[in-house]
Every structure is written in structure tokens, then in C-alpha cells.
């Protein structure tokens, strides 16, 4: 961290000096800086933006004492106090970003600050887990780029609104669920472990479904119904259809649903199932023909073939008296 | 209104939980004949194995005739709707019993209607 801070201190100054040389060099340096920080290569840009936003927001909260929303600055100060070691790096990173971009610096700065503010609001909300502000929700909804943290915060916000309308009895459970949500979102948001997102979500889902309370089940169903937004494009529609089973999975697997673990010899050598039958006579002859036919049948599973033979066994046992008359 | 909304959400969730995003689902068959045909198909599917095995005993030159006669009586005792011969390939949309093309399961009129509107993939008016 010290090394990164040191490099950060040097590079923004260097960026401002060398800006005349070429617009690409400070950008490259920026990318290098942020790449050396705890960032995974594939999501570099996303995280870059996130961190820039955080830094910008904290600078804004330091500079401007009061914001338009009342609940924000209290939480913001708490956040700034909490995450101080990040601040100077992010501030310098943000300034470097603004300086490196060819457009209006002040405009980009203000935009970044606004985004950071919104981000801080969401983190505050997640921490408190209860303060439902309609303005917050709407401001969240305007944010276009979503991290998983943003998504879950939105979800919890909408459901909390519904619970307010319906009645207060559902609220305490919702708030507990929300706090669980918020805790998980907070962890995901701060660590930026985007690769482990898939592992955290199914855990969460399992937790809600496996608990025996009916209310939890109903809540889970409601969540599913709310999150199930209509598909925005053809790809999402196809994904939905594949989940439902309407559309096959590509590349087409001819053996979907056919999980026959039996070896070929179990399909062909079926004589061992003929032990219940008499060893001579027309019945044996008949059954041998049946077995011959079954061994050539590729469409039935071994279970089905065995059932076939057993049915015949039952049938002939029932008719034993009749057969003995003959 | 809130209660109604909640009820709706729960109902929708119950029905729609495995497959969210409700779309149009046909809840009625076109007419009673189509319904009867559907019942016949279900029964035929259930008794298909039995019928196959009993017929294997009947259509035989190896087993004794008495056994085959008993098998005849048994198969006649099965419900009448379980035989596949009673199934009629009706048009899926109009339940028309005649003029139905097997590949599309549609009657000739419906097929023509969709083909002319370009809603049949790969179907074109013939011209040569």
C-alpha cells in the first residue's frame, strides 16, 4: 500500500508535467497504478471507476459541508472517518483521471463527485439497514452502471416500500432479511470480489429456501416475483426459455435426460433375467425371442428392459394353472 | 388495494415461481372433441406398455392358442380409450380433424394463414 501511495504521489505530479508530452502516458500510468492495486485484470475498468467514484465522493464530503439530502452528511462523515487511509490515494487518482481526460475537467469532476455521493448514500443505507428515504431510492434508480451491491440495495428498497404499504407486521422480518442482505452486499461491495459473487448468491438463496418458516418461503417467492423483470432483449428471453426448459441447451446434447450408466453388456446379455422361467418349452422359446429383441433395442434403459421381462414373468405365473391344463 | 396487490403477487409467485415473467398461457382447449382427444392420448400413453406386451403374446406362432385367446380377452377388457387407434391428429389451433399436416400439426387453412403472413419459418409460396 505504501508503495502504491508513493507511486501515486509521484505520478499525478508527473502526469501534470508530462501532459504536454502526450495524453496517453498519464493514462497508462494511471492504469498501471490501479493495476498494481488489488484489482483483477479483467474488471480493471469497472473497479477503476468505482474507486475513482469513492475517492471523489469523499473529497466532496470533505469540501462541501452540507448536501441536499439531510441524512447523507452524517453518514458521509462517518464513512470518511472510517475509510480515511483510502482517501488520499483516491483523491489523487481522481485528480489524475480528471486531468488525463481530454474533456472539460470541472464537468468530469462534478460528475464523478455526484456518482460518488450516490454510492456513499447506498453504502449508508446498507449499513443502517432501515432508513428508507424515497429520494435515496429514486437517486439509486437513476444510476445506470450497477454493481451487484447497487442491485441488491434496490431490491431491498422496493420490498421495504411494499411492506410499508401492507402493514407493519411484515416489517421486522423484512428488516432482518434486509440487514442480512445489506451485510452481504456490504461485503461484496467493499471487497469487490466479483468472481465470488456467484458463490455468495446461491448461499443466500439456499438460506432463505431451506429455513422451515412459511413466511420466509413466501418472502422468497415474492422476491423471485419482483426480481423477475421481463426480458430486455432477445438474449435474455432465450436465457429464460432455456431455464424453463422450452429451449434446448446448445451445443445440443443428444443424451439429455438419458442418464444410463449401464455398460453395454448389461443391455445385451439379458439371459440372467430368464432364471424364473422353465428351461424348456414354448415359453422359454418365446422369452428368448423377447430377449433377442430387447438386446437390439437402443431406446430403452436397462431398467425398462428388466421391467419388461419381469412383467412377462408375472403374467406367466398367473397363467400357470391354465398352462398346466394344456 | 394493498392486500389485493399482495395476493396477486403471491398467486403469481406460486404459479409463476419456476417460470417467472408471465406470458399468455392457453388454459382452455378449443372444443370438447379436442379435450376428448387429449384424454385418449393420455390413456393410450399409460397403457401403451401393457398393450404392447399383450399383443406380443397374441401375435405369436409359438405360444399355445389357449394362452393367446386369454390374452385376447384381456386386451379387450382394457378401457376403450387406451388404444392408439382412437387418437385423431387434429389441428392444434382449430381442432379440425381433416386436412391436417403432420409436420406442423395445423390444418390447411391455419397453415396457409400463417404462411402468407410470413410466420412459418422456411415456408414460401411455390413458384416454378
Share of chain B above pLDDT 70, in %: 82
CB pairs under 8 A between A and B: 70
Residues A273-279: contacts with CB under 8 Å, at least 24 apart = A273/A306, A273/A309, A273/A310, A274/A309, A276/A313, A276/A317, A277/A313, A277/A316
Residue A52 has a pLDDT of 66
Full-model pTM? 0.45
**How far is Cα A188 from Cα A169, in angstroms, rounded to an integer?**
30
Nearest CA in chain A to B2: A166
Q: Please list every residue in chain B whose beta carbon sits closer than 8 Å to the beta carbon of residue A167.
A: 2
Residue A105 has a pLDDT of 74
Query: Is A244's CB within 8 Å of B67's CB?
Result: no
Residue A190 has a pLDDT of 53
Residue A155 has a pLDDT of 57
Nearest by CB to B20, which of A228, A282, A319? A228
For A247-274, how does the pLDDT look when each residue is reduced to its tens digit (9 = 90+)? Answer: 998 888 888 877 778 888 888 898 888 8
- Is residue A11 very low, low, confident or very high in pLDDT (cuts 50, 70, 90)? very low
Best probe of the A interface among B19, B59, B65, by most A CBs < 10 A, is B19
For A71-80, how does the pLDDT look when each residue is reduced to its tens digit (9 = 90+)? Answer: 444 444 444 4
Residue A147 class from Cβ within 10 Å (0-12 exposed, 13-18 middle, 19+ buried)?
Answer: buried
- Is residue A100 very low, low, confident or very high in pLDDT (cuts 50, 70, 90)? confident
The CA distance from B88 to the nearest CA of chain A, in Å, is 25
Q: Which residue has the higher pLDDT, A122 or A279?
A: A279
- Is residue B82 very low, low, confident or very high in pLDDT (cuts 50, 70, 90)? very high
**Contact assessment for residue B90 and residue B33, using Cβ atoms and an 8 Å cutoff:** yes
Nearest CA in chain A to B22: A230
Query: Is A228's CB within 8 Å of B21's CB?
Result: yes
Checking if the pLDDT of A134 tops 70, the result is no
Question: Which segment of A213-222, B10-19, B86-95 scores lowest on mean pLDDT?
Answer: B10-19
ipTM tops 0.90: no
Instruction: Tell me the mean pLDDT in the region A146-155.
Output: 58
Find out if CATH 1.10.287.1480 is the number for domain B31-88. yes
- Domain boundaries defined on chain B: 31-88, 91-122
**Contact assessment for residue A219 and residue A208, using Cβ atoms and an 8 Å cutoff:** yes
Amino acid at each position: 500500500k505504501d508503495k502504491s501511495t508513493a507511486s501515486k504521489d509521484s505520478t499525478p505530479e508527473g502526469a501534470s508535467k508530462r501532459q504536454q508530452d502526450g495524453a496517453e502516458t498519464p493514462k497508462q500510468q494511471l492504469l498501471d497504478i490501479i493495476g498494481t492495486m488489488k484489482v483483477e485484470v479483467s474488471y480493471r475498468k469497472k473497479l477503476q471507476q468505482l474507486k475513482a467514484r469513492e475517492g471523489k465522493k469523499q473529497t466532496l464530503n470533505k469540501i462541501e459541508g452540507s448536501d441536499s439530502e439531510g441524512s447523507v452528511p452524517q453518514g458521509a462523515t462517518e464513512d470518511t472517518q472510517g475509510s480515511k487511509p483510502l482517501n488520499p490515494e483516491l483523491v489523487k487518482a481522481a485528480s489524475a483521471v480528471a486531468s488525463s481526460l481530454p474533456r472539460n475537467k470541472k464537468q468530469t469532476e462534478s460528475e464523478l463527485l455526484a456518482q460518488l455521493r450516490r454510492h456513499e448514500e447506498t453504502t449508508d443505507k446498507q449499513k443502517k439497514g432501515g432508513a428508507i428515504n424515497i429520494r435515496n431510492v429514486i437517486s439509486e434508480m437513476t444510476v445506470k452502471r450497477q454493481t451487484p451491491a447497487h442491485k441488491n440495495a434496490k431490491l431491498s428498497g422496493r420490498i421495504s416500500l411494499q411492506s410499508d404499504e401492507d402493514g407493519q407486521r411484515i416489517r421486522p422480518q423484512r428488516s432482518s432479511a434486509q440487514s442480512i442482505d445489506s451485510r452481504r452486499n456490504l461485503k461484496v461491495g467493499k471487497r469487490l470480489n466479483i468472481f465470488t459473487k456467484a458463490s455468495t448468491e446461491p448461499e443466500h438463496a439456499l438460506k432463505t429456501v431451506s429455513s422451515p418458516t412459511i413466511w420466509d418461503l413466501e418472502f422468497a417467492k415474492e422476491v423471485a416475483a419482483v426480481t423477475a423483470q421481463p426480458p430486455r432483449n432477445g438474449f435474455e428471453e432465450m436465457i429464460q426459455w432455456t431455464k424453463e426448459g422450452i429451449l434446448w441447451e446448445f451445443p445440443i446434447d443428444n443424451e439429455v435426460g438419458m442418464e444410463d450408466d449401464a455398460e453395454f453388456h448389461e443391455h445385451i446379455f439379458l439371459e440372467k433375467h430368464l432364471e424364473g422361467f422353465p428351461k424348456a418349452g414354448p415359453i422359454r422359446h418365446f422369452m428368448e425371442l423377447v430377449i433377442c429383441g430387447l438386446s437390439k433395442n437402443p431406446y430403452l434403459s436397462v431398467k425398462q428392459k428388466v421391467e419388461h421381462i419381469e412383467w412377462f414373468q408375472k403374467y406367466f405365473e398367473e397363467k400357470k394353472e391354465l398352462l398346466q391344463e394344456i | 388495494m394493498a392486500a389485493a396487490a399482495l395476493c396477486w403477487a403471491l398467486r403469481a409467485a406460486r404459479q409463476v415461481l419456476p417460470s417467472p415473467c408471465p406470458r399468455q398461457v392457453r388454459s382452455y382447449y378449443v372444443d370438447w372433441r379436442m379435450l376428448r382427444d387429449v384424454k385418449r392420448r393420455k390413456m393410450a400413453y399409460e397403457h401403451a406398455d401393457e398393450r404392447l406386451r399383450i399383443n406380443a403374446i397374441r401375435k405369436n406362432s409359438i405360444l399355445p392358442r389357449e394362452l393367446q385367446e386369454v390374452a385376447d380377452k384381456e386386451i379387450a377388457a382394457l378401457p376403450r380409450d387406451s388404444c392408439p387407434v382412437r387418437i385423431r391428429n387434429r389441428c392444434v389451433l382449430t381442432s379440425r380433424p381433416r386436412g391436417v399436416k403432420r409436420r406442423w400439426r395445423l390444418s390447411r387453412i391455419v397453415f396457409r394463414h400463417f404462411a402468407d403472413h410470413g410466420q412459418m419459418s422456411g415456408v414460401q409460396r411455390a413458384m416454378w
